[in-house]
Structure 1
Amino acid sequence: MIASRPGSGRSCPGPDRVVIVSTAPLVAFALLLFDRAAHRNVRSGTPSDIPARCPVDQVRRIHHPANRKLTNIMTTPMTATTFSDPAPAQRLERAAMALTAHGFSVEILDDAAAARARTTDLIPEGASVFTGASETLRLSGIEEDLNASGRYDAIKPRTLAMDRATEADEIRRLRASPDVSVGSVHALTETGSLVVASGSGSQLPGYAGGAARAIWVVGAQKVVPDLSTALRRVEDHCLPLEDARSRAAYGWPSAVTRLLILNAEFQPGRGTVLLLREAIGF
């Protein structure tokens, strides 16, 4: 959208104008301030409805940091995908290599049973553990192991029993900074990023760095080529499924009110991805 100069009837941005370029839902807007003293007059590719006398700046695509860092990694185009089919071994290996280069620890496992056993191995007995809402954890049995076995200081059942009116601050602190935060993601890119959508946001602080360690169990169907496809998977695939689950379980709809993108792990080894060869969860 190009703002017109007041009273001119022309779509010619001046030095005090703002051009807003939007790519897609969930993708941040790019704000470009035009300065007549600094612009370059580039007409190539300019829409025909912009007057010839108007200066035009060339807008270049900003690539994802992972693409710049891992220039030797090719991604796989996805056309007419249903987002439910497990990615083949070659794509799992490509994603694992990219994540490893970004500081994550990655293990490729055969199935949910292997992930269930490995999660127990990774978490020391007595550690405080918070599990994010996840069909993957529920279906695999990991959620039950962590919250009901008695081996761990399970944060979720403890906070659910607390008084939200009088203990809200303590609930927030417990969920944001456990010893270990465990969950899943909604998409994992072949360029080495994790994408997590949320309605309440309760699991996101731990994932982002509040927890001493984070573990994500990820089904093979969640592997996508890049961030744009990951965001499409969240909107077109995950949200409708979660919305139906939320309506059935709680009687109200779901929504993506928060979105976390982890492009790299600041503290190498803090985040562990257990990537499965089978599909599980949304």
Structure 2
Amino acid sequence: MVLNTQVDQTFAALSKSDAQLAPLADSIYTKPASAERVSTAKAALEANGFKVHVANTRGEAFETLKTLIPAGASVNNAHSTSLEEIGFITYLKGETAWNNVHSTILAEKDQAKQAELRRTIGSTVDYYLTSVSAVTEDGKLAHSDLSGSKVGGVAFGAANVIVLVGTNKIVKDEDEAFKRIHEFTLAAESARVRIAYGLPASQVVHYEVIRKANPFNPNRIQIVLVNDALGY
């Protein structure tokens, strides 16, 4: 089993180490959804044109991801605690059958040049791996970021997108997705950046709702829905 090397950045760890996040430790958004809600969300996502794979465990999710990416493909990932928690980020750093563009980007230490790599090769890979912060019961995806690199890659840049998402992120509708991201996800991400970068907080600069699959490329976004609580 491949391990998560960022255990201090899981929600469970952050809610213990960060006093500002502690009040949210027992939030409903930390709990896996019921089987009924999962079934409802899956059916709605499929009705909206997305291809959905359900994984019952983290290990099953890990193996599903491996099968979805063909050998020789270029791969990049957004920052994703969910991908870290199933061990996939650690796995990508080793020897795989893919071209891991993310390692090339991080190898560039000049910040301006690294940003340009994120904009060019990072956003136009064959497969872009990420998570989202909310999945609605009527089959929509919602997420945000600060720099725009994640939103841009998901919206259009990458040839294919694979979204790994725990069922703790299922919400009723777009209104609740907005609430979850601004009241829960932002608080958790702010706790993470305090550890990772020494910054006081993160920001929701770019906010995106994906309501349907692209009718001209309906198989572009695939969703691996995991019956577990992952990320934030």
| Matched residue SS, 2:112 | coil
Q: In structure 2, do the counterparts of structure 1 residues 88 and 174 end up closer, same or farther at CA, with 3 Å as the change threshold?
A: same
Shift of 1:250: 0.7
Q: Which amino acid aligns with 1:138?
A: E
Q: Is the 8 A contact 1:84 1:279 kept in 2?
A: yes
Tell me the alpha carbon deviations over residues 210-263 of structure 1, each in whole angstroms, 9 at most, x when there is no partner: 111110111010000100000100011111111011001110121111111111
Displacement of 1:169 after TM fit?
Answer: 3.4
Which of 101, 104, 122 lines up with 2:47 in the alignment?
101
Q: Tell me if 1:256 matches 2:216.
A: no
How many aligned residue pairs are there? 203
Which consecutive residues of structure 2, in runs of 5 or more, have no partner in the other structure? 1-25
TM-score (norm 1): 0.69
Distance, in Å, in 2 between the alignment partners of 1:165 and 1:209 is 23
For the residue of structure 2 that corresponds to 1:235, the secondary structure is: helix
Alpha-carbon shift at residue 168 of structure 1 (Å): 4.5
Structure 2 residue 71 is matched with structure 1 residue 121: no
Q: Which amino acid aligns with 1:177?
A: T
Q: Give the corresponding residue for 2:213.
A: 265
Q: CA offsets, 1:180-218, max 9 Å, x none?
A: 000100000011110111112212222112111110111
| Equivalent residue number for residue 220 of structure 1 | 167
Structure 2 counterpart of 1:87, from 14, 29, 33:
33
Higher RCO by CA contacts (8 Å cutoff, separation 6 or greater): 2
Structure 2 residue aligned with 1:186? 133
Distance 2:167 2:46 in 1: 17
Match of 1:57 in 2: none
Give the superposition deviation at 1:166: 4.6
Q: Give how far 1:160 is off.
A: 1.4
- Which of 165, 179, 183 lines up with 1:232 in the alignment? 179
* Runs (4+) off by over 3 Å: 163-171
- Give the one of 141, 148, 162 matched to 1:201: 148
**1:142 has 2:92 as partner:** no
Quote how far apart the aligned CAs of 1:276 are: 1.1
Unaligned 5+ runs, structure 1 = 1-79
Between the aligned partners of 2:152 and 2:143, the Cα distance in structure 1 is 12
Letter in 1 for 2:84: R
User: Which of the pair is proportionally richer in helix?
Assistant: 2
Q: TM-score, normalised by structure 2?
A: 0.83
Contact 1:186–1:195 (Cα < 8 Å) also in 2: yes
Cα RMSD between the aligned structures?
Answer: 1.6
Identity %: 34
Pick the structure with greater CA Rg: 1
Using the alignment, how far apart are the partners of 1:245 and 1:237 within structure 2? 13
Q: What's 1:35 paired with?
A: none
Deviation at 1:165, TM superposition (A): 3.4
